[in-house]
Chains A and B, each alone.
Chain A
Amino acid sequence: GENVEQHPSTLSVQEGDSAVIKCTYSDSASNYFPWYKQELGKRPQLIIDIRSNVGEKKDQRIAVTLNKTAKHFSLHITETQPEDSAVYFCAAGYSGNTPLVFGKGTRLSVIA
């Protein structure tokens, strides 16, 4: 089955700096790669996703890149703000009959 590795497990950045979180996946059939943000005590919520026919997608300060050949994808957050502090999860899915497989998460702390 699919296996998703996520790095780093914790990340601290100064406010205004950029943050990058990386994930690798094992199943070359995977074609859907979402990112979820989970604030303390809250539920995970989708912030951005990318499909395998696209190499990069941006939404204001966040962007995701996908390299299908290397089987990795990354989340980029620019001009970080304290409200970006949260746990971020990457996931991989494919057009089979099984749910998303999640990485173990990255705890991002933005220091003011």
Chain B
Amino acid sequence: NAGVTQTPKFQVLKTGQSMTLQCAQDMNHEYMSWYRQDPGMGLRLIHYSVGAGITDQGEVPNGYNVSRSTTEDFPLRLLSAAPSQTSVYFCASSSSWFAEAFFGQGTRLTVV
């Protein structure tokens, strides 16, 4: 029972590089979201999706892209990494927006 799986767990990027954070869930959840966690800032919403082919922006979307081609996968792309994107990133999935959200194990990203 994998739940929500994120890869990689750690990543170091140079400024200007691009990369994709992977997120996959095996619970057949339609609702998925990406958050970033910074000290003292809580969990801030980057992008979210309510089903395959449907995505929308959250509170802090600049510098990130998402796509949802399947129910299972919801990758987050950093287009041109900046030091301000140094953070811990969490993917979450749920059966609805008012049901338990299951989080992945997180990706600790450092941009130098």
Residues on A lying within 8 angstroms of B by beta carbon are 6, 9, 31-32, 34, 36, 42-46, 49, 51, 89, 93-105
Contact = CB atoms under 8 A, between A and B. Distances in A.
Interface in B55-112: 56, 58, 90, 92, 97-98, 100-101, 103-106
Contacts, number: 58
Contacts of B52: none
A99 B48 contact: yes
B42 to A, nearest CB: 4
A42 to B, nearest CB: 8
B97 A95 contact: yes
B97 A104 contact: no
Given A98-B97, A99-B45, 19 more contacts: A6-B42, A32-B97, A36-B101, A43-B105, A43-B106, A44-B43, A44-B103, A49-B100, A89-B42, A89-B43, A94-B98, A97-B50, A98-B48, A99-B48, A99-B97, A102-B35, A102-B43, A104-B42, A105-B43
Looking at chain A's contact residues, the main secondary structure is loop
15 contacts: A6-B42, A9-B40, A31-B98, A49-B100, A89-B42, A89-B43, A99-B33, A99-B45, A99-B58, A99-B92, A101-B45, A102-B42, A102-B44, A104-B41, A104-B42
Contacts of B50: 97
Contacts of A49: 100
B42 A105 contact: yes
List the 4 closest A-B pairs by CB distance, nearest first.
A32-B98, A104-B42, A43-B103, A102-B43
Contact of A46 (B33, B43, B56, B100): B100
B42 A46 contact: no
A103 B42 contact: yes
